[in-house]
Amino acid sequence: MNKEQIRSHKSLSRSLQTIMSILDFDLKKEIAKKLKTNKEITIVDIGCGVGRSLWELSNIFSESEVHMNLFGVFYSAKPNPNSIFFANQKRYEEVLKNPLIVANEFNIQTKNKDIPKLFNTDACKYLPIKSNSVDLIYSTNAFHFFADKINAIKEMSRILKTNGIAIINIDRTDDDFWPDNLHFPRLCIHREHKIIDAKKFLQSKSGADFTISIKKVDSYGTGKNSYILKMRKHQKKTLTFPELSFDKKESFSLDNIRFSEQNCEDTIEYKRLIAMGTVFGKKTNKENFGGYLSTYKLKE
C-alpha cells in the first residue's frame, strides 16, 4: 500500500468523532436538539467516503422513536484510483447498492433501524434530493475537489429546509505555503486582475433568507488551518449568485501538479498559478497541492 492509498483509506473511513473535530462542531448535539421537536430528521454527508459516520449516527440514535433519513453523497461517478477500499468500478457500485458492506468492513455494529443510502453524483451540478427537505448537511473533505464550488453552495442551500444548517470545510491551507491573503486557495473570485476576498464575499450573502459565517480553526491538530462555513436557512429560498460567472478557462485541477512526474515548477498548472500572481511562502512541494482551483469573474 503506497502513501497516497494509506491517506485515501484514512480519509474514506473517518470516524464521527474525527469529523466533528475537523468541523469544530458537535453534530450529535445539534441532532439531539432537533429531535426534541421532530420525529423525523434528514441528514446529508457530502463527500461521505464510505459513509462510516452515517452508520455511527444511526447507531447513536437507534433507541429513539424518530426516523433518520441518512444520505451519503459520493462526489464522483468513478472510484478514486488511489483508494484501496474502492479498488475498482465493480466494488464502487457494490457499495452503492449495499451500504452494509461498509459496516462489515469497518466492524461497525449495526442495529439496522435506519440504513444510510449512498449515491454518487456531481454535487456541483445537482443533488438528487428534494428542495427544502434536509435538516443538516456536513462535509469535511470534498469541497476543495469541486470544480464549480459556488454552484455546490447553491445546491446545498436549495435542499436545506427552514432552520436547516450546513457545516462545510471549505478549504484547508498551510499558511507557511499559501499567501496569507488567500483564505481559500482553491476558490478565486476576481474582477479584471484584482482578487476579491472570497470569505467576505460569501459572508455578504447573509440576510433575511440565510445566515452565513466562516471561521478559521486548527484542522484536527495538524497545524494547518481549516475554514469552516456555517449556513443556516431562514426562508424557503435558494442562494443565488447573479454577480458571478464561472471562469472555466482559469479553472483547473491542482491534482495535475500533485501527481505529475515533472517537478512542480515545470507543470503547466503551476505556471498558470504564478501568472495569476500567486506567491508561495516557502519551497514548493507536491504535497501542498491537490483539489481543484475554481475561478469566478465578478461582474461590474
pLDDT in tens, 255-284: 899 889 999 899 999 999 888 778 777 777
Inside any domain, residue 256: no
Inside any domain, residue 156: yes
Joined grid coordinates for residue 16: 464521527
Backbone angles phi, psi at 228, to 5 degrees: -105, 120
215 Cβ neighbours under 8 A, 6+ residues apart: 24, 227, 228, 230
Q: Mean pLDDT across the chain, nearest whole number?
A: 84
Inside any domain, residue 97: yes
Q: Which 3 state secondary structure label does DSSP give 202? A: helix
pLDDT value at residue 33: 92
Inside any domain, residue 170: yes
94 Cβ neighbours under 8 A, 6+ residues apart: 101
Inside any domain, residue 295: no
Q: Is pLDDT above 60 for 126?
A: yes
Q: How many domains does the chain have?
A: 1
| pLDDT, mean of residues 214-240 | 86
pLDDT value at residue 83: 62
pLDDT value at residue 232: 98
Where do runs of H (alpha helix) occur along the chain? 3-12, 16-23, 27-35, 52-60, 89-97, 100-105, 149-159, 198-203, 255-258, 268-275
Q: Is pLDDT above 60 for 5?
A: no
What is the 8-class DSSP label of residue 125? T
| pLDDT, mean of residues 224-251 | 94
> For residue 69, what are the domain limits?
3-178+196-241
Q: Which 3 state secondary structure label does DSSP give 132? A: coil
For 178-193, what is each residue's pLDDT tens digit?
A: 765 567 889 999 988 7
Q: Which 3 state secondary structure label does DSSP give 189? A: strand
Inside any domain, residue 284: no
CATH number of the domain residue 84 falls in: 3.40.50.150
Measured CA to CA in angstroms, residue 135 lies from 35, 69, 105, 124, 266 at distances of: 10, 10, 28, 20, 46
Note the pTM of the prediction, 2 decimals: 0.89
Short-list 20, 127, 117, 14, CA closest to 75? 127
Percent of the chain surpassing pLDDT 70: 86
What is the 8-class DSSP label of residue 222? S
Pairing of strands 210-218, 134-139: unpaired
Inside any domain, residue 66: yes
Inside any domain, residue 272: no
d(CA 15, CA 10): 9
pLDDT value at residue 176: 66
